[in-house]
Structure 1
Amino acid sequence: MDDMMPVMRRATEQTANLVRGVRDEQLGLPTPCEKFDVKDLISHIEWVAEMFESLARKGPRTVQGPYAGDFPERAERMLAAWSKPEAWEGTSDMGLPMATLPELWLVDMVVHGWDLATATGQEYEPDAEAVARAKRFSDQMVEMGRQRGAFGPPVAVPDDAPPFARLLGLIGRDPAWTP
């Protein structure tokens, strides 16, 4: 927990800043995450923040509601919930150790941050430690992620590509995607 919270916070704050940078006229733009336009992507991460907050408090999974435009606030509540040691204890209703769930969050923040930045023309340089952790976790969970629909088919990237490009390719994103 102690070494993960700073990484979670940095990745979350970076994505929250990207959300704050989205203009209303950009909400309908396509993203590299094929099933989402910008508005749907923000709605998705709003729900993920709400769900992860509930899981940290040992509450039920939540259902996704409509776009609310409050991701930064939800993300802060989620981080506050995970800052408590008891959030990391036990097993989730997904069958994963609670201590594993923040890794899922990190993958979402790093990758969906890129999705959002790429779709809206914002600068994005993910935290190197967050990328390394997300890649390590995704390497282990990629098949389960594909089975559950969270990851797409792999996209080929050169072996000497930067770690972030390799992460994107691993989970089904084309690092060369443009709107």
Structure 2
Amino acid sequence: MTLAELTAAQRHRVIAGTFTDRVRATKSWDAAAPVAGWTARDVVRHLVEWFPGFLAGGAGIELPRGPGVDEDPVAAWQTHADAVQAVLDDPATPGRTFANPHIGELPLDQAVDRFYTTDVFMHTWDLARATGQDDRLDADYAELLVTGMEPMEELMRSSGQYGPRVPVPAGADAQTRLLGFIGRDPSWCPS
């Protein structure tokens, strides 16, 4: 099965599992990341810190908190990833509603998948690139994401969550196009 064919819970398990592998293999949490001003630790911090408020505000779900990212980034990530997986594995989740004034109402599992799991997928490249690990993303899923986001480019850029598009060569592969679309320089390397 491809990532696109999985359920939201299955897709999170795979994508978060890949990110977990990169977290566990990180040797330097102070390594510069492809996001300006961020380190490897900040990539983990972003994922651990933005989503709990989003989930609480839209679905009334409070995720358990682990140690802080500064104290123990590996444990902070693992606690967070396990908590999100538990929400997705709950048989009641697909029947629950997520409501947000900016995006409207969606089934909870779809909201987590669309806004959070895809963020983990894209930030996997950031952490891997910052720490010298395998930074290849699933090509088919990257294609699905970039193709789905391109028609909403103006709305996405106006959210302030994405930097300016980075030009990529004509005929670039899906991962390169996705990275350029979200404002990453696909050729970025730590100095």
**Same fold per superposition (TM over 0.5):** yes
User: Aligned match of 2:163 in 131, 140, 152?
Assistant: 152
1:14 counterpart = 2:53: no
Provide the residue aligned with 1:5 in structure 2.
9
Q: Output the CA distance in 1 between the equivalents of 2:143 and 2:12.
A: 13
Indicate yes or no: 2:99 matched with 1:92: yes
Q: 1:110 touches 1:130 (CA, 8 Å); kept in 2?
A: no
Name the count of aligned residue pairs.
Answer: 175
Structure whose CA Rg is larger: 2
Equivalent in the alignment of 2:184? 173
Does structure 2 conserve the Cα–Cα contact (< 8 Å) formed by 1:5 and 1:83? yes
Tell me the amino acid that sits aligned with residue 92 of structure 1.
A
Structure 2 unmatched ranges of 5 or more:
none
SS in structure 1 at match of 2:183: coil
| Residue-by-residue CA offset, 1:62-119 (whole Å, 9 max, x unaligned) | xxx9524220221121011022354344342243224244122233112211001101
| In structure 2, C-alpha distance between the alignment counterparts of 1:5 and 1:139, rounded to whole Å | 25
Structure 1 residue runs of 4 or more that deviate by more than 6 Å after TM superposition: none
RMSD: 2.9
SS of the residue corresponding to residue 157 of structure 2 reads: helix
Q: Where do 5+ consecutive residues of structure 1 fail to align?
A: none
Q: 1:58-137, aligned counterparts within 5 Å?
A: 58-59=60-61, 67=69, 68-69=72-73, 70-88=76-94, 89-96=96-103, 97=106, 98=108, 99-137=110-148
Report the TM-score, using the length of structure 2 for normalisation: 0.77
Q: Distance in 1 between matches of 2:157 and 2:163?
A: 6
Contact map agreement 2:55 2:62 (CA 8 A) in 1:
no
In the superposition, the TM-score normalised over structure 1's length comes to 0.81
SS in 2 for 1:146: helix
Identity of aligned residues (%): 25
Compare the two structures and name the one with the higher strand fraction.
Answer: 2
